[in-house]
Amino acid sequence: MQIENWKLQIFNLRLLHPQLSTLDPQRSTAPATMIANHLQPNDSHKEWIKILSERIRAVERAARYAGSIVHPRWRPSEFGPLEPLFAPNGLEAGSLVEWLSEGWGDGAMTLAFLLARRVLDEKGVLVVIDDRVAAQWGASSELSRGRWSFYAAGAARWELPLERLIVIRPERARDRLWALEQSLRCPAVAAVFARLERASSLVLRQLQLAAETGGTVGLLARPLSAQREPSWASVRLRVEARPSTADGFTRRLRVQRLSGRGVWDRLTIELEIDHVTGDVRLAAELFDPARASRAAGA
């Protein structure tokens, strides 16, 4: 199944990047032949996929740096406790980060804003597309009737500079996407936060190109159902609230990296956020006797 997905993505890339000549089956290179032959996954195929991915990255890099626009890149270590999620390649300005969650108090937006704070350290402003009416996944009819909106005091609590924050409240659905695309395309904007319940691959590709043009980081909060849809995001993260185990003023979040540029494995970390001091740290792993006995083959 993984191979099938890769085939799809590689052919997509070939269509979008004419430089990917080495992936053309007509030129009879080994990787392309392997894809065309519908082979079943095994170890050697994993090797091929690794080679392919490296080639794609090289071509992408060359294409990206051939022009005059070179966006800054943040190293993984610059994201503090979020470091494992962005390792090993870090995050480049001009990319999308998707935060998949059930919504309503699960902490995904907090994590997105913590990332935005780091991005804002460099320059620019943060744009928040505040359109809760259009994005109410996971809400009952009762909850949907409420007039929910972004609360800037919550952002100030996480030390986001409000003087560099713009809130956009579009009244129509098509204006929402237009405002999002325009904000992503603006070089003076450092990051854009928006909720996106449904979006076609074409729309997401358009947003990704806009972010790449403006050198903007797009932070897209999306429902869990979007996990099945293709994505153009550099990093796709699933956030889940967990019951906290520690005393004090902490909350616990489980973050799973579903996909990332240049990484294949799904990585899961648990974070503890102190909502009094604002500290974010990796949660200490608890000893699980059942898992330990399974690992020991008992």
Partner 1 sequence: MPLAEAQALLDGAARAGRLPEPALLPDNPDADQAALRSLAWACSRFSPWVSIEPSEPLDTLVLDITGCTHLFGDEWAMAAQVAGMLHRCGYFPFIALADTIGAAWALAHYGDFVRGRPRRLESLPVDALRLPASVVQTLHALDLHRISQLDRLPRASLPSRFGSILIQRLDQLAGRQPESLAPIPPPEPIEACRSFEYPVSDARALTVALRQLLDQVLKTLPPHEGILRLTVRLQTAEKKPVPFEVGLVRPTESAEHLMQLLRLQWERRSLPDQVTDIRIRVAQTAPMLSRQRWLFGDGTGLSGVRREDERHLAELLDRLSNRLGPNCVLRPQLQPDAQPERAVVYEPVQTFVVPALAAKNRLKAKGSRSDRKAKDGRNAFFPGQQTLSLVADRPLQICQPPMAVDVMSVVPEGPPLRVWWNGRSDDVVRSWGPERIQTGWWREETVRRDYFRVELADGRHLWLFRDLVRDQWFLHGTFD
* From candidates 2, 21, 149, 293, binder to partner 1 by CB under 8 A: 149
* From candidates 240, 255, 272, 280, binder to partner 1 by CB under 8 A: 240
Total of residues contacting partner 1 (CB under 8 A):
64
Peptide bond into 88 cis (omega under 30): yes
Angle at 85 between CA 121 and CA 251, to 5 degrees: 80
Tokens representing residue 51 in the block = 């080679």
Tokens representing residue 137 in the block = 């996944």
* From candidates 17, 64, 118, 132, binder to partner 1 by CB under 8 A: 132
Residue with smaller CB distance to partner 1, 227 or 244: 244
Minimum CB separation of residue 66 from partner 1 in Å reads 22
* From candidates 16, 51, 62, 156, binder to partner 1 by CB under 8 A: 156
* Alpha carbon distance 57, 49 (integer Å): 12
Cα separations in angstroms, 77 against 22, 244, 259: 34, 25, 19
* From candidates 72, 80, 146, 230, binder to partner 1 by CB under 8 A: 146
Minimum CB separation of residue 144 from partner 1 in Å reads 10
Residue 241 in the binding site for partner 1 (CB under 8 A): yes
Cα separations in angstroms, 20 against 29, 48, 68, 202: 12, 16, 21, 20
* Alpha carbon distance 86, 90 (integer Å): 5
Residue 64 in the binding site for partner 1 (CB under 8 A): no
Q: What does DSSP assign to residue 263?
A: B
Write the DSSP string, 70-122.
---EE-GGGGGGGHHHHTTT-EESS-EEEEEE--SSSSHHHHHHHHHHHHHTT
* From candidates 18, 72, 154, 262, binder to partner 1 by CB under 8 A: 154
Stretch that binds partner 1, among 32-40, 76-84, 198-206, 251-259 (CB under 8 A): 251-259
Stretch that binds partner 1, among 16-24, 29-37, 90-98, 245-253 (CB under 8 A): 245-253
Q: What does DSSP assign to residue 159?
A: T
Tokens representing residue 120 in the block = 């804002």
- Please report where in the chains the tokens 């610059």 appear, as a residue: 78
Tokens representing residue 35 in the block = 């894809």
Residue 182 in the binding site for partner 1 (CB under 8 A): yes
Residue 72 in the binding site for partner 1 (CB under 8 A): no
Residue with smaller CB distance to partner 1, 64 or 275: 275
Residues 108-127 that bind partner 1 (CB under 8 A): 108-110, 113, 123-125
* From candidates 171, 202, 265, 297, binder to partner 1 by CB under 8 A: 171
* From candidates 104, 137, 258, 282, binder to partner 1 by CB under 8 A: 104
* 17 alpha carbon, distance to own chain's centre: 22
Residue 175 in the binding site for partner 1 (CB under 8 A): yes
Q: How many C-beta atoms surround the C-beta of residue 51 within 10 A?
A: 12
Residue 161 in the binding site for partner 1 (CB under 8 A): yes
Residues in the chain: 298
Residues forming the site for partner 1 (CB under 8 A)? 103-110, 113, 123-125, 132, 138-143, 146-157, 161-171, 175, 178-179, 182-183, 186-189, 221, 240-244, 249, 251-253, 275-276, 278
